[in-house]
Amino acid sequence: MSDARSIDDERIRQLRIGHGANCSSIGSVVDTLFATAAVGAAVFAAVVAALKTEDVKVVGTRAQDRPARGDK
């Protein structure tokens, strides 16, 4: 690396460490969308699993118990 491209330590103001620390704004958006999709999928799976064990309840009247269209 040439001296023209080197960076002195005193010129660095802040260095972030960790996942996505020095990424661009679009990288943050992609990370947020991925996390939202993962949480949404987990919630959906939990709802589907909860509904699988629920008994079926029929509400209302049967078609044969309703009066015919001409009857009142």
| pLDDT confidence tier of residue 51, bands split at 50, 70 and 90 | confident
Task: For residue 63, tell me if it sits in a domain.
Answer: no
Q: Which residue has the higher pLDDT, 41 or 27?
A: 41
| pLDDT confidence tier of residue 23, bands split at 50, 70 and 90 | low
For residue 44, the model assigns a pLDDT of: 96
* Residue among 20, 49, 48 nearest 35 (CA): 20
Residue 39 has pLDDT above 60, yes or no: yes
**Range in 2-6, 12-16, 24-28 with the lowest mean pLDDT:** 2-6
Task: For residue 65, tell me if it sits in a domain.
Answer: no
Q: Report the number of distinct structural domains present in the chain.
A: 1
Q: Do 48 and 40 meet the contact criterion of CB atoms below 8 Å apart? A: no
Task: For residue 31, tell me if it sits in a domain.
Answer: yes
Residue ranges making up the domain that contains 30: 23-57
Q: What does 35-66 look like in DSSP terms, one character per residue?
A: HHHHHHHHHHHHHHHHHHTSPP---S--GGGS
Task: For residue 42, tell me if it sits in a domain.
Answer: yes
Task: For residue 69, tell me if it sits in a domain.
Answer: no
Task: For residue 14, tell me if it sits in a domain.
Answer: no
Long-range residue pairs from 42-47, CB within 8 A, at least 24 positions apart, any chain: none
